[in-house]
Structure 1
Amino acid sequence: MKRRVYTFILFVFVCAASFSFTSPSTNYYTITVKVINIRNNSGMLQLQVYRTAENFKKEIPWKVRFFDKNEMKNNSMTCIITGIEPGEYGVALLDDENSNKDMDYTMFVPDEGFGFSDYYHTAWSKPKFESFKFQLTEDKTVTIKVRYV
């Protein structure tokens, strides 16, 4: 009988200890991307999520998501990216009209549309990460206006 009581007490102690040493749960958020000014429904939208200026400069996205343009209405579409931890992010978009997963160029000029989270880029050079980055501390909605050159 004493052995059962000691076994039970040991079991309760181990369970209590395991609960007290577990790490707090991480909050995950959703980034909702409202894409406007899409010129046609050919191909797909490619969203690239970046976490650092260095990775953006090297074109190494943290996550890449593809969205079929079948849901497009009035040249606009909403794309949702879920399960994102808090932190600093920036979203870049490629309107990949031929679905080859690359930006196509003619004489160094982009043939397909592009855009950035809450930033409309008008210069000829690549934008800086600081221009379109944001802090994710709760669910966030950003707007990307697609630019075609």
Structure 2
Amino acid sequence: MVSAIGIATLSSAAEASSASSTLEINIYGLRSTKGNVLVCVTANPRFFPDCGKDPKSFKTSVSARDAANVSFTGITKGTYAVALVHDENANNKMDMAIFLPKEGFGFSRNPAIVAGPPKFKAAAFAVDAAAVSQRVKMKYML
């Protein structure tokens, strides 16, 4: 016989395990295997696309050689956006030439780039399942 306390404990454990997700990011279109790919995932529109100052963001730097697939675990359900930089010279920032990026970039949902980075809404996607994936194409201006 299972007590009511045992049932509550079992259901709480099941809810806790289903409350977080894994985000898989498939990156394609890198023009070289030089340097690193900087990956940032945020749920806060104020910190997009540069979510380096968002204390709740998920960030990593991956060698461009190994950047085809990047995953994050422990993502809670919600709305997120991903920003990528192909940091070819490995200086941990996006290098600019006047007003154009010298290095590659990409965003979740692959929004059209007109003048400047997209708004959060254009790159936003829902994390509402145990596993969510985004396929991101890198873009180069120069």
TM-score under structure 1 length normalisation: 0.76
| Alignment-derived partner of residue 35 in structure 2 | 43
- The residue type equivalent to 1:91 in the other structure is V
CA distance in 1, matches of 2:86, 2:22: 21
CA distance in 2, matches of 1:79, 1:113: 17
Distance change >3 Å, CA 64–CA 19, structure 1 → 2 = same
- Stretches of structure 2 lacking an aligned partner (at least 5 in a row): none
CA distance in 2, matches of 1:81, 1:142: 12
Distance change >3 Å, CA 98–CA 127, structure 1 → 2 = same
| Alignment-derived partner of residue 7 in structure 1 | none
Aligned pairs for 1:6-85 (under 5 A) are: 20=8, 24-27=15-18, 28-56=20-48, 59=51, 60-61=53-54, 62-71=57-66, 77-85=68-76
Aligned pairs, number = 131
How high is the sequence identity, in percent, across the aligned residues? Answer: 27
| Over 3 Å off, 4+ runs | 16-24, 57-61
* Structure showing greater Rg: 1
| Alignment-derived partner of residue 137 in structure 2 | 145
Distance change >3 Å, CA 20–CA 140, structure 1 → 2 = closer
- Stretches of structure 1 lacking an aligned partner (at least 5 in a row): 1-15
TM-score under structure 2 length normalisation: 0.80
CA distance in 2, matches of 1:63, 1:86: 14
Cα RMSD after superposing both structures: 2.3
| Alignment-derived partner of residue 3 in structure 1 | none
Q: Could you give the per-residue CA deviations for residues 1-34 of structure 1, whole angstroms, max 9, x where no partner exists?
A: xxxxxxxxxxxxxxx8698589552522111111
